[in-house]
Amino acid sequence: MSLQHLIPLLIATPGVLFLMLGTLWLLGGQVSERAISRMSKATHAFLVVVVVLIAWAMWRGNMVSMNVSLGDWFTVAEYGFPLSLLIDKLSLPLVGTTVVLAGIVGSFSVRYLHRDPGFFRFFLLLHLFTFGALLVFTAGSLDLLVVGWEIVGITSVLLIGFFQYRPDPVRNALRVFATYRVADLFMLTAVFLSHHWFGTASWAGMFSGDWPGSTYKFDGAAATVIAVLLAFAASGKSSQGPFCGWLPRAMEGPTPSSAVFYGAISVHAGAYLLLRVEPLLHHSVIATSLVIFIGLTTAFLGTLIHRTSADAKTSLAYAAQTQIGLIFAEIGFGWTTLAVIHLVGHAMLRTLQFLRAPSMLWDYHRVHAAAGGKLSPTGSYYESLLPSAVQIWLYRWALGRGFYDSIVERWVMAPVLTLARWLAIFEPRFPRRQPEAEPSTKVVETPVS
């Protein structure tokens, strides 16, 4: 097997496993937990070997990138939508991180979800997520990236509502899904404008392919518009800026899904998108300033809020949001290598912290007992230099989580719902059908003589 065949094999393996398990589930088949565990471990071990082989071949051959063309998805007149895969210095670290961390989370979940009714469903979605994430990081064009982008999004929503018998997970999953839909509009608009204005949405057509320092072919206002649209799309996937409210709602899912989605892989997909289109981004001063502003403001907000969070997972969610905001700022300043190192290291650290979250209280009591019942304070923060009135105001602001939900519900959701009620007059209204009354059974008592 040639090296060119390893890349499609890497991406297709978790997808094929998902199709096999999904077909078996639709046919009413049953798979034991031990069998699912063994298949998952074997799959991720195989994926790790494939990634190592690709990295070794690229290092020995001194290759900057590897491109694999699978033909065209479909063509319309002069427009074509190619199926091309790309492995380079940017995507290889993220592909390796995805494979390793997804395997660790899968191994952890075997015991964490033991005898849970949703055990099979969780691993089914985990393999689908792995397929989507690998597709995002190896896509050779914006067209193909959107496919993986949507797969990652739908699996995120389904795992947030994993415990579907409780109303809160379902409600929060729908809220996250709505946020994703709004953010994805920016992505789809950017893809459409790329094809309309420039005739292509592939990285090979947009840039020279060398990373970093790629050349670009976009000029003028077109580059600014597409770069701004992609910046908002990345913010939506990474819970930054105007979309910063959905990440704590995603903590309703199981802890392993929180680790791999919102600590490791999914929330970093937005940062990857910005890294991939960095030459286009830095061609526009407006887009660059927007990314830096979104990153720094979200980092400041997340820093304050995570200190007032009452539970471990929510605190970790805001801490992750803070670090991703800093990664956004690093990308905006052009510190590409630092951003990649920060991204990979942060993904590994958050995965460990999320997986340790259920035992965090036990660890605290153990350390507290080992210290003789006395733990020294961690020290004061920089806000202690501010006047007490300002500190109290910041605390109230952080306790209310920046009043983000109140602003969104009053100024965004309320007008939309009002408009929907006004537009409802154009829908035909049918009278409700009254349920038929059940025939009553009359019991006749017979007197006892």
Q: Which residue type sits at 127?
A: H
Predicted pLDDT of residue 261 = 82
**Which residues lie closer than 8 Å to 32 by C-beta, 6 or more apart?**
none
Summarised one tens digit per residue, pLDDT across range 313-353 is: 888 889 999 999 999 999 999 899 999 999 999 999 999 98
The larger pLDDT score, comparing residue 392 to residue 447, is at 392
Beta strands 79-88 and 65-76 are antiparallel
Q: Which two tokens stand for residue 44?
A: 């991720």
Summarised one tens digit per residue, pLDDT across range 125-137 is: 999 999 999 999 9
In degrees, rounded to 5, the angle at the alpha carbon of residue 250 between the alpha carbons of residues 245 and 255 is: 145
Other CB atoms closer than 10 Å to residue 308's CB: what's the count?
Answer: 17
Contact between residue 296 and residue 325 where contact means Cβ atoms under 8 Å apart: yes
Which of 204, 199, 229 lies closest to 214 in space, CA to CA? 204
SS3 283: coil
Predicted pLDDT of residue 79 = 66
Calpha distance 53→137 (Å, rounded): 17
Torsion sign across C-alpha atoms 38, 43, 46, 47: negative
pTM score, whole prediction: 0.87
Summarised one tens digit per residue, pLDDT across range 209-233 is: 443 444 445 567 888 899 999 999 9
Q: Is 28 buried (19+), middle (13-18) or exposed (0-12) by CB count in 10 A?
A: exposed
Q: Is the pLDDT of residue 7 over 80?
A: yes
Residue 212 phi, psi dihedral angles, 5° rounding: -85, -175
Which of 133, 343, 149 lies closest to 234 in space, CA to CA? 149
Contact between residue 298 and residue 275 where contact means Cβ atoms under 8 Å apart: no
In degrees, rounded to 5, the angle at the alpha carbon of residue 281 between the alpha carbons of residues 190 and 339 is: 115
Least confident of 44-48, 71-75, 385-389: 71-75
Predicted pLDDT of residue 167 = 87
Calpha distance 270→136 (Å, rounded): 10
Q: Is the pLDDT of residue 2 over 70?
A: no
Predicted pLDDT of residue 394 = 85
% pLDDT > 90, the chain: 35
Mean per-residue pLDDT for 10-34? 90
| Residue where the block lists tokens 């097997």 | 1
Contact between residue 264 and residue 347 where contact means Cβ atoms under 8 Å apart: yes
**Which residues lie closer than 8 Å to 51 by C-beta, 6 or more apart?**
10, 92, 95, 96, 99
Residue 73 pLDDT class (50, 70, 90 cuts):
confident
Predicted pLDDT of residue 419 = 85
Cα radius of gyration (the chain): 25
Calpha distance 205→128 (Å, rounded): 29
Q: Give 72's strand partners.
A: 82
Contact between residue 204 and residue 144 where contact means Cβ atoms under 8 Å apart: no
Q: Is the pLDDT of residue 146 over 80?
A: yes
